[in-house]
Amino acid sequence: MSAFVQYLISGIAVGCGFALLAGGLVTIHRVTRVVNFAQGMFAVVGGMTAGSLLARGLPHGAAEAAAVAVTGAVGLAVGLAATGRRGTDARAALIVTLGVGFLAYAVEIMIWGDGPRSHEGIGGAVTLAGAHIQKQSFLVIGVTAAVFALLALFFGRTYLGKALSACASNPYAARAVGIDVVRMGLVAFALGGALGGIAGVLLVPLQPVSYDSDVLLITNGFAAAVLGGLDRPGVALAGALTLGVAEAMVAGYGEASYQTVVALGLMLAIMTWRASRRSALQEEAAR
């Protein structure tokens, strides 16, 4: 029982990290139709920046906030590259973000080296129902809950958020009422970058990242996001939590090395199941 609780909580914590990544993917895809392959890179950059700033003596909180600001700026830059030039369609933009991800590899290796890095989160652990659980896990869960609540408020209550939602539901109509769709796309990228950064600074104390961890992060984030068709943040959150817990259970009770196989297999199954319910006609009409 105590082992189960431990796997459950740590799975939820990791799932929350995936959820933040998936949230960023969904935010960007809703507004710009671009699947941002560089989303995992935001988390890596965020986590490593936070680590460096902490090593320089910045206090906790300030370092993390600065790292998130940095990834927001990085997100803006990725958005400029992927959507700033006229006539870049969504497939070309996907390949552009892939390229940006590789450029980031080069920069990351130059700054931080090619080994895995980690930094201290809030230390210590608590015992719950006989299970030994890191406090950081609770921090991750709490922050993620707060971020998703804020996102809901942002999209539902603020002018900017509503403008973003307008672009998502009908770019043509949004332009007709005077919303700058391209600029909203950049806002979405910056927001996505910040969300990825939050995921990074929260996850790094739990599991060290190296420059190429982004492939696994992005595939997990994508797996969660694709559950809601890349358009529904709520479904993405649910998907991410399921994925995180499923991986933790496989790692705990089965064999740790198969956890990515399970996650990826789940993603493939969900995607093909969803695709079988949508015909080519619907897909092309939605374009």
Partner 1 sequence: MTTAARAAVAAVAAVALIVPLLLTESQVSVYVLLLLSATVAIGLSMLMGYAGQVSLGQASFTMIGGYTAALTAVHGAPTWLGLLAAPLAAAAAAAVVGVPLLRLRGHQLAFATLAVQLILLNLVGRQDWTGGDIGLQGVPRLRIAGYEFATEVSYAYLALAALGLVALVTRHIVTSRPGRGLRALATSEVAAASSGVPVAAYKQAVFALSAGFAGLAGGIYAYYIGYVAPGSFPVLLSIEYVVMVVVGGAGTIAGAVAGATAITLLVQLLNDVGTREGMPASAPAVLSYAVYGLLLVLAMLFLPRGLVPSALALRDRRPVPKPRPAESEDRPPAPAPTQRQP
SS3 129: coil
Q: What is the DSSP letter of 130?
A: T
> What are the angstrom distances between the C-alpha of 192 and each of 83, 161, 186, 216, 276?
14, 13, 10, 18, 29
For residue 134, the cross-strand partners are 125
**At its nearest, how many Å lie between partner 1 and the CB of residue 37?**
8
Name the residue nearer to partner 1 (CB basis): 18 or 222: 222
For partner 1, the binding residue among 3, 55, 62, 110 (CB under 8 A) is 110
Measured CA to CA, the distance from residue 267 to residue 193 in angstroms comes to: 23
143 CB-contact burial (10 Å; exposed 0-12 / middle 13-18 / buried 19+): middle
Q: By CB under 8 A, tell whether 90 contacts partner 1.
A: yes
Q: Is 283 exposed, middle or buried (0-12, 13-18, 19+ CB in 10 A)?
A: exposed
Given candidates 219, 232, 238, 246, which one binds partner 1 under the rule CB under 8 A? 219
What's the rounded Cα separation, in Å, for the pair 221 and 118? 20
User: Which range of residues in 2-10, 53-61, 84-92, 119-127 is near partner 1 by CB under 8 A?
Assistant: 84-92
Which residues from 160-199 bind partner 1, rule CB under 8 A?
none
Residue from 105, 118, 138, 161 touching partner 1 (CB under 8 A): that is 105
Shortest reach from residue 218's CB to partner 1, in Å: 9
Candidates 176, 30, 35, 8; CA nearest to 100 is 35
- Quote the least distance from Cβ 256 to partner 1, whole Å: 11
Residue number, 21 or 147, with CB nearest to partner 1: 21
Which residues would be at the binding site for partner 1 (CB under 8 A)?
35, 81, 85, 88, 90-92, 94-96, 98-106, 109-110, 113-114, 215-216, 219, 222, 226, 257-258, 260-261, 264-265, 267-268, 271-272, 275-276, 280-281, 283-284
